[in-house]
Structure 1
Amino acid sequence: MHSAAPVRQSSFPGILHQYTSKLVGFEFIGSSGKTISSNKERPLLLFVGGLGDGLLTVPYVPSLVEPLDKLGWSVVQVNTQSSYIGWGTGSLVRDDEDLHKAVDFFAHLGGADYNSRKIVLMGHSTGSQNVLYYLSQSPLDNHLAAAIAQASVSDREGCYNTIGVDKTEALVAWVQKEYIEKGLGDDVLPRSKVAHSMGDTPVSANRFMDLVSIRGRDDFFSTDLTPDDFAKTFGSIKPITGTNDYSRLALFMSEKDEFLAKSVNREEIVQRFREAIRPSTSNSDASGVIPGATHNVGEASEPGALEWLIEHLVKVLKQV
């Protein structure tokens, strides 16, 4: 079977929805021409990217549109306040509030409601933290039929791989002493201090600590975390609001993820995550490692990676 090449179009048919006064989601329109605005029972895959992502920056998203359209689903990618460079001064809490507003908007679009339209949230990279926070730690309602975490990697361990453990720990200690303890958590850190680990994005002290400190607010996927740590996330999935049912959670890790150390056994870490999922009814059997896939299942992925992703995504959607 030949690999499905990433879509190379520069223009895409669809509808730009304004789900808050300043935030938008783009609904791709497949060959059927059906949309969630005109079909109140049409289900929806809501996609959110990772650090630095915005509309169309994750290459595989447009490739999902036709297979899901044939299944009767729409695909919407949302921007949040953390899209593009906004992540540097954001937080999981702010992301969660944005995503709940998006879910509420799209759940009711076209005269639908939570009972008539199923919504599945899919997060890529740090979007996986948004998914897991939404399911397990958010104080807000849960109306997701299922959720998918693709390329869930540790930003802390990514920093270790970039500048080393010793330099990372020294930087964390410096930020704690010079900013956090002085009540300056919202201040942006000097680029000269963090550019090697965070890139060119302006990053606040709080966001840096969330991402890079041990058991920071964003530290969900580090391989050195314990079962007790995983119990607070994977092991604490909330019921769907107003029901006794639970959202299904699927995990798609990339075999050749460049942000994950080569020494990490991908199958083993996915299994560790899955073993921690509670309740067991949330543990999707579609989870697994995408063979030959890079972090974002981009052009450097091996033939068949994109097909695997689509096949297992369709499996999740059929089960809800």
Structure 2
Amino acid sequence: MNLSGTLSTYNPQTRLTMFESGPQNSQGSVVFVAGLMDGYNALPYLPLLGKFLEEQLGFSLIQVMLTSSHMGYGISSLQDDVRELDILFTFLREERAKTRLFFIGHSTGCQDAISFASHGRNRAAVQGLVLQGPVSDREFMMSSLDEMYGKYVRLAQRMINDGKGQELMVREVDIAPVTAYRFNSLASIGGDDDMFSSDIPFESMQANFGQVMTPLIMVHSGKDEYIPSHINKEQLISDLTNASPSSLGAVVLPDADHAISDLASQTIFCNAVVQFIRKVLITLEQEEKAQEQALGGLSL
């Protein structure tokens, strides 16, 4: 299954593009932001998701290219992503007349979703968030880098203390160029990207999600290879769900890996996304109807 659609430039200054598939004249769309090292068509479930959105909701699917996409993540930041997403959502509302917009973040795209919903100028344009595969980059790096983890964290912190946070770390750190700031953000306790670690105190989790008023669901994979085996996944899912004041619950795909590679789990995921959007739309329509009735009463 392949996606066909239209490539558009949403930010002419930096030539950043978006790819829209499905009914492009629809007022409803889902914006998808992938994770580190990803770009267009990065996830195997995207064609099926596009099909579900079009057939069941009449929505289009929009994939977005950010400066941080592919090899650019290490010289960017969540703040940079939010600024670019603000430009994207302005384009979608003013140039494409979109009035129903939802946001799906995958992996580190979940950090983008939370950051945008907390600080984006156009955050009110998004009616709902889906966080697919919210995992801790820090805990994964701790388990995968072994003794090198501490060495790199100390190097990043020393560079930041020396006023060199935007300079690149040594080449051996990653295949992509990485600044001391971004490595520290991803790898250090309390870094800007450190939102989904299992050892974050519950009060700190609540603070991370406290500014998010947009309805959201989190979708977790039971066989997520980026969550170290020693972590209590059930407790982590419970804590993350309870810490978010706008959460409408969590979905667990027991047989899915991080990217939801198997078709059965993809189908469950796509159905969950459609059901979530429908639930949010019903609530919005009820609120809009109540406002119209209230205004009608005032005019009398």
For the aligned pair, the TM-score class normalised by the smaller chain equals: 0.7 to 0.9
CA contact (8 A) 1:236 1:277 kept: no
Deviations 1:119-141 (A, max 9, x none): 111100000000111122x1523
Partner of 2:224: 257
Partner of 1:183: 163
Q: Identify the match of residue 248 of structure 2 among 262, 276, 284.
A: 284
Partner of 1:123: 105
User: Which TM-score applies when normalising by structure 1?
Assistant: 0.82
Distance change (3 Å), C-alpha of 1:311 and 1:267: farther
Partner of 1:63: 48
Residue identity in the other structure for 2:267: E
Partner of 1:267: 234
Q: Identify the match of residue 39 of structure 2 among 33, 36, 54.
A: 54
Residue identity in the other structure for 2:19: F
Structure 2 matches for 1:139-150, cutoff 5 A? Answer: 140-142=121-123, 143-150=125-132
How far apart in 2 are the matches of 1:289 and 1:129? 19
CA contact (8 A) 1:250 1:283 kept: yes
Tell me which stretches of 4 or more aligned residues in structure 1 moved more than 3 Å. Answer: none
Partner of 2:211: 236
User: Which TM-score applies when normalising by structure 2?
Assistant: 0.88
CA contact (8 A) 1:267 1:288 kept: no
Partner of 1:311: 271
- Structure showing the higher strand proportion among its residues: 2
CA contact (8 A) 1:156 1:214 kept: yes
CA contact (8 A) 2:21 2:50 kept: yes
Residue identity in the other structure for 2:40: L
Give the secondary structure class of the aligned counterpart of 2:11: coil
How far apart in 1 are the matches of 2:120 and 2:42? 30
1:26 equivalent to 2:19? Answer yes
CA contact (8 A) 1:80 1:95 kept: yes
CA contact (8 A) 2:83 2:120 kept: no
Residue identity in the other structure for 1:24: T
How far apart in 1 are the matches of 2:151 and 2:42? 33
CA contact (8 A) 1:44 1:120 kept: yes
Question: Which runs of no fewer than 5 residues in structure 2 stay unpaired?
Answer: 281-300
CA contact (8 A) 1:291 1:304 kept: no
Q: Identify the match of residue 172 of structure 1 among 153, 170, 193.
A: 153
How far apart in 2 are the matches of 1:292 and 1:206? 35
Give the secondary structure class of the aligned counterpart of 2:48: helix
Post-superposition offset of 1:60 = 1.2
How far apart in 1 are the matches of 2:199 and 2:130? 22
How far apart in 2 are the matches of 1:184 and 1:260? 31
Deviations 1:212-246 (A, max 9, x none): 01101110011100112112222221xxxxxxxx4
- Structure showing the higher helix proportion among its residues: 2
Which has the larger displacement, 224-233 or 213-222? 224-233
Residue identity in the other structure for 2:247: N
Distance change (3 Å), C-alpha of 1:13 and 1:174: closer
Partner of 1:240: none
Partner of 2:257: 294
CA contact (8 A) 2:86 2:120 kept: no
1:159 equivalent to 2:141? Answer yes
Residue identity in the other structure for 2:20: E
How far apart in 2 are the matches of 1:288 and 1:176? 37
Structure 2 matches for 1:57-96, cutoff 5 A? Answer: 57-70=42-55, 71-96=57-82
How far apart in 2 are the matches of 1:61 and 1:109? 24
How far apart in 1 are the matches of 2:199 and 2:207? 15
How far apart in 2 are the matches of 1:72 and 1:233? 33
Post-superposition offset of 1:170 = 3.1
